[in-house]
Chain A
Amino acid sequence: MYGWIWRRLPFGRPGKIIGSVLLAAAAGAILWFWVFPAAHSLLPFDDVQVGPP
Chain B
Amino acid sequence: MAGGERGHAAPRENPANRTISLDSPTSTPGSAGRGRRRVMRAMLRVGGELLTTLGLVVALFAAYEIWGRAAVVADHQTALDAQLAQQWAQEVAPSGTDPTAPAEPDPKPRSVSPGDAIGRLYLPRLHASWVVVEGVDPEYIEYAPGHYPDTAMPGEIGNFSVAGHRSPAIFWDLDRLQPGDAVIVETSTTWYVYRVTQSRIVPPTAVEVVAPVPNQPGVAPTAAHLTITTCNPKWDNYERLVVHATLERAQATSAGRPAELEGL
Residues of A within 8 A of B (CB): 1-3, 28, 31-32, 36-37, 39-41, 43-53
Contacts and interface: CB of A to CB of B under 8 A. Distances in A.
B136 interface: yes
B4 interface: no
Nearest to A3: B45
B73 to A, nearest CB: 12
A28 B60 contact: yes
A44 B237 contact: yes
Interface residues of B, number: 39
A37 B61 CA distance: 10
B210 interface: yes
Nearest to B227: A50
Given A1-B50, A36-B68, A40-B65, A48 B229 contact: yes
B205 A51 contact: yes
B235 A45 contact: yes
Given A1-B46, A31-B57, A40-B69, A48 B166 contact: yes
27 contacts: A1-B45, A1-B46, A1-B50, A3-B45, A28-B60, A31-B57, A32-B60, A39-B61, A40-B64, A41-B138, A43-B65, A45-B167, A45-B235, A46-B138, A46-B142, A47-B231, A48-B163, A48-B166, A48-B229, A48-B230, A48-B237, A49-B240, A50-B205, A50-B209, A50-B229, A51-B204, A51-B205
